[in-house]
């Protein structure tokens, strides 16, 4: 009896090995790597992102602003402090390091061109001070495509984001407009934090953000409630007839505060079914009107899915410039052959 069991298990190992060989053959002989048609635009967006990254480094150098963390990432000057008076929530240092990779601009080009976004289309963008690197990559992608844009930004930032006085998102945006040919500007700016109106910030932190806005003649929008902030932004975006929405970070108006807000999927999506809660966010409300969205929040997941380097010291080498296409028929035949052999072995075992 033991002999028969060993013989049966040996046959299963052979079938498993055969299945691996089939998968290797499919990958080698029936898989094609094709360079994307928007490869040139991807490269252009990456180059612009790198230039703007370095310009922000120059801005911080001029202002003598440095961070209090240790990071080996090439663009570590884009990372903020662990905590300041304008820090709104906890944040991951790893996520901030990963986000400082210019290849995210190429990823956004990929998402946008797959959605037929070009110079005739309008993009709605919700930027959080929590991810200044992704915000820069996003604007570089939009400027490369020469698309129109409606931009909302919030000044508060999570740990390691744009949470340094003098280097908030508003400081970065205005510096790039003045010195680096950025063509876009936030049309609506809020404090951010809880309920999008500074909830949880100290009086000192609130004053820093008010002073920052005043320095650039920006009128901060103070929504009386999260619901009203969401509704105002949705009204503006619909009035601008946007073709796609990009959300960067965990802005509460984007995600909402309903029970389903944490379930909004990452990356690009053409549709999303949500609840009818009054505090469902902008993504859900626009999805109800069949407006696709790009949600950039779980940075590590995005990097893995799109083969962007997880090494903070490496900012190139991803396979985002190509499409991998595998023929379906060989895959199906391989699966059928493998399962067929397993069924045959089991049938013979029952007869023994």
Q: What is the DSSP string of 74-114?
A: TTGGG---S--TTB-S---HHHHHHH--THHHHHHHHHHHH
331 lies in the same domain as 195: no
Asked if 11 and 130 sit in the same domain, the reply is: no
What is the Cα–Cα distance from 342 to 28, expressed in whole angstroms? Answer: 24
The label of the residue with tokens 């390091």 reads 97
User: Do 61 and 175 sit in the same domain of this protein?
Assistant: yes
**Each residue of 10-31: pLDDT tens digit?**
666 666 676 677 666 656 665 6
In the three-class reduction of DSSP (H, G, I as helix; E, B as strand; rest coil), residue 117 is classed as: coil
Q: For the chain, give the percent of residues with pLDDT over 70.
A: 81
Question: Which comes out higher in pLDDT, residue 159 or 15?
Answer: 159
**Same domain for 183 and 228?**
yes
Nearest to 124 by CA among 151, 154, 153, 155: 151
- Asked whether residue 163 falls in the same domain as residue 105, the answer is yes
pLDDT higher than threshold 50 for residue 330 = yes
| 141 and 162 share one domain | yes
**pLDDT given at position 70:** 83
More confident residue, 328 or 161: 161
Q: Does a structural domain hold residue 318?
A: no
Query: What's the pLDDT tens digit per position in 297-314?
Result: 999 999 998 888 887 676
195 with 244, same domain: the answer is yes
Q: Examine the domain organization and report whether 95 and 220 are in the same domain.
A: yes
**The pLDDT of residue 251 is above 70:** yes
Domain of residue 241, residue span:
39-305
Q: Indicate whether 314 belongs to any domain.
A: no
Q: How sure is the predictor about 2, in pLDDT bands with cuts at 50, 70 and 90?
A: very low
Q: What percent of the chain clears pLDDT 90, i.e. is strictly above it?
A: 62
Same domain for 13 and 43?
no
Same domain, 22 and 152: no
> Rounded to two decimals, what is the model's pTM?
0.84
Residues 11 and 91 grouped into a single domain = no
Query: Is 43 found in the same domain as 26?
Result: no
Q: How many domains does the chain have?
A: 2
* Residue 148 in domain: yes
181-213 per-position pLDDT tens digit: 999 999 999 998 888 988 888 899 999 999 999
Note the helical H segments in the chain. 2-29, 39-63, 93-99, 103-114, 132-145, 169-179, 203-215, 226-239, 252-255, 282-287, 299-305, 328-351
């Amino acid at each position: 009896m033991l002999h028969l069991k060993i013989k049966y298990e040996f046959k299963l190992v052979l079938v498993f090995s055969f299945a691996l060989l089939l998968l290797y053959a499919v990958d080698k002989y029936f898989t094609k790597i094709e360079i994307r048609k928007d490869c040139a635009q991807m490269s252009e967006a990456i180059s612009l992102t790198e230039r703007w990254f370095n310009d922000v480094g120059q801005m911080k150098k001029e202002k003598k602003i440095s961070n209090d963390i240790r990071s080996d990432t090439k663009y570590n000057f884009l990372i903020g402090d662990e905590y300041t008076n304008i820090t709104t929530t906890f944040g991951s240092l790893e996520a901030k390091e990963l986000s400082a990779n210019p290849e995210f601009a190429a990823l956004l080009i990929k998402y946008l061109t797959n959605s037929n976004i070009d110079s005739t289309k309008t993009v709605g963008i919700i930027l959080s001070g929590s991810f200044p690197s992704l915000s820069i990559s996003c604007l570089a992608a939009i400027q490369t495509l020469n698309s129109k844009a409606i931009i909302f930004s919030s000044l508060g930032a999570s740990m390691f984001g744009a949470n340094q006085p003098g280097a908030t998102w508003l400081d970065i945006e205005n510096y790039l407009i003045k010195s680096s040919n950025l063509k876009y500007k936030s049309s609506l700016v809020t404090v951010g934090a809880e309920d999008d109106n500074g909830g949880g910030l100290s009086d000192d932190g609130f004053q820093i953000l008010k002073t920052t806005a005043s320095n650039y003649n920006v009128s901060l929008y103070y929504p009386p409630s999260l619901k009203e902030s969401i509704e105002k932004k949705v009204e503006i975006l619909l009035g601008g007839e946007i073709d796609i929405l990009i959300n960067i970070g965990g802005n509460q108006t984007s995600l909402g505060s309903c029970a389903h807000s944490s379930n909004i999927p990452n990356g690009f999506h053409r549709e999303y079914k949500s609840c009818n809660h009054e505090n469902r966010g902008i993504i859900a409300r626009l999805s109800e009107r069949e407006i696709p969205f790009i949600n950039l929040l779980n940075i590590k997941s995005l990097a893995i899915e799109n083969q962007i380097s997880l090494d903070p010291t490496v900012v190139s080498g991803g396979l985002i410039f190509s499409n991998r296409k595998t023929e379906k028929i060989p895959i199906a035949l391989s699966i059928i052959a493998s399962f067929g052999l397993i069924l045959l072995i089991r049938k013979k075992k029952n007869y023994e």
